[in-house]
Chains A and B, each alone.
Chain A
Amino acid sequence: MECVFGLVGDGFAILVADTSAVHSILVHKSNEDKIMVLDSHKLIAASGEPGDRVQFTEFIQKNVSLYQFRNGIPLTTAAAANFTRGELATALRKSPYMVNILLAGYDKETGPSLYYIDYIATLHKVDKAAFGYGSYFSLSMMDRHFHSGMSVEEAVDLVDKCILEIRSRLVVAPPNFVIKIVDKDGAREYAWRESVKDTPVSSA
Chain B
Amino acid sequence: MSRRYDSRTTIFSPEGRLYQVEYAMEAIGNAGSAIGILSKDGVVLVGEKKVTSKLLQTSTSTEKMYKIDDHVACAVAGIMSDANILINTARVQAQRYTYAYQEPMPVEQLVQSLCDTKQGYTQFGGLRPFGVSFLFAGWDKNYGFQLYMSDPSGNYGGWKAAAIGANNQAAQSILKQDYKDDISREEAVQLALKVLSKTMDSTSLTSDKLELAEVFLMPSGKVKYQVCSPEALSKLLVKHGVTQPAAETS
On A, residues with C-beta under 8 Å from B are 71, 73, 75-76, 78-79, 82-83, 86, 109
Which residues in A have their C-beta under 8 angstroms from that of B142? 73
Which A residues touch B100, using CB under 8 A?
A: 82-83, 86
Question: Which of A73, A75, A109 touches B101 (beta carbons < 8 Å)?
Answer: A75
Within the complex, what minimum Cβ distance (angstroms) separates A100 from chain B?
20
- Could you tell me which residues of chain B, from 50 to 94, have a CB within 8 Å of some CB in chain A? none
Interface residues on B, range: 10 to 19
Of A71, A79, A86, which one neighbours B103 at CB under 8 angstroms? A79
Residues of A within 8 A of B103 (CB): 76, 78-79, 82
Q: How far is the CA of A79 from the CA of B106 in the complex (A)?
A: 12
Structural contact, B101 and A79, CB atoms closer than 8 A: yes
**A100-B99 Cα distance, complex, nearest whole Å:** 21
A122 to B103, CA, bound (A): 18
B239 in the interface, Cβ–Cβ < 8 Å? no
A73 touches B102 (CB 8 A): no
The CA of A202 and the CA of B102, in the complex, are separated in Å by 50
Alpha-carbon separation in the docked complex, A76 to B142 (Å):
11
Q: Give the chain A neighbours of B4 by CB distance below 8 A.
A: none
- Contact between A73 and B106, CB atoms less than 8 A apart: yes
Closest 8 CB pairs of A and B: A79-B101, A82-B102, A73-B142, A82-B101, A79-B103, A86-B100, A71-B109, A83-B100
The answer to whether the Cβ of B141 comes within 8 Å of any Cβ in the partner chain is yes
Shortest Cβ distance from A166 into chain B, in angstroms?
34
Residues on A with beta carbons closer than 8 Å to the beta carbon of B99 = 86
The minimal Cβ–Cβ distance linking B68 to chain A, given in whole angstroms, is: 17
User: Would you list 16 pairs from A and B whose C-beta atoms are within 8 A, ordered by A residue?
Assistant: A71-B109, A73-B106, A73-B142, A75-B101, A78-B101, A78-B103, A79-B101, A79-B102, A79-B103, A82-B100, A82-B102, A82-B103, A83-B101, A86-B99, A86-B100, A109-B141
Quick one: closest B residue to A73, CB to CB?
B142
Measured between C-beta atoms, what is the minimum distance from B183 to chain A in Å?
27
Minimal Cβ-Cβ distance residue in A for B103: A79
- Collect the chain A residues with CB atoms within 8 Å of residue B109's CB: 71
CB distance from B84 to the nearest CB of A (A): 27
Chain B's closest residue to A79 (CB) is B101
Residues on the B chain within 8 Å of A79, using CB: 101-103
